[in-house]
Amino acid sequence: MKKLKIGICGWGNVATGLYKTLEDNRIQIESNSNTQIDIVVIGARRDNPKCDPKNITIERDIFDVLNHDIDVLVELIGGVEVARELILKSVNKGINVVTANKAVLFHHGDEIFEKANLNNVKVLFESSVCAGTPIIKLLTEELSANKVTKIAGMLNGTSNFILSNMEEGSDFKPTLELAQKEGYAEPDPTFDIEGLDAAHKIGILSSLAFGTPLPPNDFYIEGISNIKKIDFKYAKEMGYTVKHLAVTKLNEDQIELRAHPVLIKINSYLANLKSVRNGIEVETDLLGTLHIAGSGAGQESTASGVISDLVHLANSNDNFSEKNSKSKNKLINFLSLSFQYYFYIEAEDVPGVMALITSQFAKKKIGIESIVQKENLKNNMVPIVIITDLFVEKDHKDLLQTLKKLDSVDAVRSIRIELD
């Protein structure tokens, strides 16, 4: 049996989940992979009352983990700058790294992979995107004969958990609290609900598929914090639901990159993935469209991805690293993309208000596919739901501002519609 000595840095939710999974599933892991994984040392600034590591050596200075006889450093501290320093120290010492940290790869991935290549060590990161749901090795190994043209997915488990619970009638805040309690959300949950976590993940996938840099240039990022329960009702009446989608797509020789809420057809593959599940569609030339789904957050799911990287390391004796040799592609300016939109507008129920609102669309030559006035709210306000024709993103912001400034309009929000 192959043996792998590992040092874990970090002793929070993910690290203790890895420890427990290695304990509980030891027989299964060894028989499936012919690999024995031994934790030699844990770097933890403090104890975790939820998990006793028994007689494993503990280092209070996480950098001291690198002074032990280990084959792999498992970086589970999260965050960006200290994680970068730790990973680079490990790489410079010739110690392989497995990390679940999407933020550090998003901000410093190119530097980290370059240094890993120079030192002939590997930095593996399966669990950085969709936790253990296998997408990284799929892109870097299994699909190597294919030209990937688009990756679109729900990449943040917490957002999907919140949105699918809201779809069933729950409120935003208690559902977020539940996601935090279940260990799905980031330590700072604004990363989840403002779209940053999904943006980190699509940035990594875009780098693998299309060679965009890490960090990428600025791209459009929006989270789910403005979505209201009523949006699900109106979306459903028109055959849609609301999801948070991250997209990277080859558009001639430029790359479209974005992460934001969308309306998608209610009977589509992604629309039917509920709770903490992540789902990804990968468009390829040889295999057509692939669908992958699995739990995208949580202790067990993340441990699954980390262990898959460890087994991969134990099985490989080549000197490759995950450096991306693809040519670098330029990002498309988000403002030049076109979308159909859902608009929710609350306006005073007075004669002429409909004409006033639709004239704002007409002035910008934006076609309206459907417009419905819903049942009156209190205070003589009426909700109006509009689905537009396709129009260019640069007109969207102006239109929103114009509508918000109308005296008879109280609230406006919009969601892009994902057509394919």
Would you please indicate which residues are annotated as catalytic (active-site) residues?
Answer: 201
Q: Least separation, in Å, of the C-beta of 102 and ligand HSE?
A: 6
Residue written as tokens 């503990």?
58
Which residues are paired to 392 by β-bridges?
A: 338
How many angstroms separate the Cα of 38 from the Cα of each of 8, 26, 116, 219, 337? 11, 10, 23, 41, 50
Q: Least separation, in Å, of the C-beta of 167 and ligand HSE?
A: 17
Site for ligand HSE in 343-382 (CB under 6 A): none
Q: Least separation, in Å, of the C-beta of 295 and ligand HSE?
A: 9
Which residues are paired to 210 by β-bridges?
A: none
Which of 185, 307, 310, 345 forms a contact with ligand HSE (CB under 6 A)?
185
Q: Least separation, in Å, of the C-beta of 368 and ligand HSE?
A: 36
Cβ atoms of residues 214 and 322 within 8 Å: no
Which of 197, 231, 281, 322 forms a contact with ligand HSE (CB under 6 A)?
197
SS3 at position 45: coil
Cβ atoms of residues 160 and 244 within 8 Å: yes
126 binds ligand HSE (CB under 6 A): no
Distance CA 277, CA 271 (A): 11
> Which one of 65-73, 153-161, 333-341, 366-374 is the stretch in contact with ligand HSE (CB under 6 A)?
153-161
**Total residues interacting with ligand HSE, rule: CB under 6 A:** 11
> Which one of 180-188, 320-328, 339-347, 379-387 is the stretch in contact with ligand HSE (CB under 6 A)?
180-188
Which of 131, 331, 409, 417 forms a contact with ligand HSE (CB under 6 A)?
131
Which of 157, 195, 223, 294 forms a contact with ligand HSE (CB under 6 A)?
157
Measured from the CB atom, the residue of 185 and 202 that comes closer to ligand HSE is 185
Residue written as tokens 């919140």?
162
Cβ atoms of residues 162 and 297 within 8 Å: no
- Which residues are CB-neighbours of 336 under 8 A, at least 6 positions away? 392, 393, 394
Helix-strand-coil split of the chain, %, nearest 5: 40, 30, 35
186 binds ligand HSE (CB under 6 A): yes
The secondary structure of residue 140, as a DSSP letter, is I
The secondary structure of residue 329, as a DSSP letter, is -
> Which one of 140-148, 182-190, 371-379, 381-389 is the stretch in contact with ligand HSE (CB under 6 A)?
182-190
158 binds ligand HSE (CB under 6 A): yes
Q: Which tokens sit at 404?
A: 């918000």
Which residues are paired to 359 by β-bridges?
A: none
Residue 133 host element (H or E):
none
Which of 126, 192, 322, 418 forms a contact with ligand HSE (CB under 6 A)?
192
164 binds ligand HSE (CB under 6 A): no
Single-letter residue type at 128 = S
**Site track for ligand HSE across 295-324, x = CB under 6 A:** -xx---------------------------
Distance CA 418, CA 244 (A): 10
Q: Least separation, in Å, of the C-beta of 157 and ligand HSE?
A: 4
> Which one of 81-89, 181-189, 322-330, 361-369 is the stretch in contact with ligand HSE (CB under 6 A)?
181-189
184 binds ligand HSE (CB under 6 A): yes
Binding site for ligand HSE (CB under 6 A): 131, 156-158, 184-186, 192, 197, 296-297
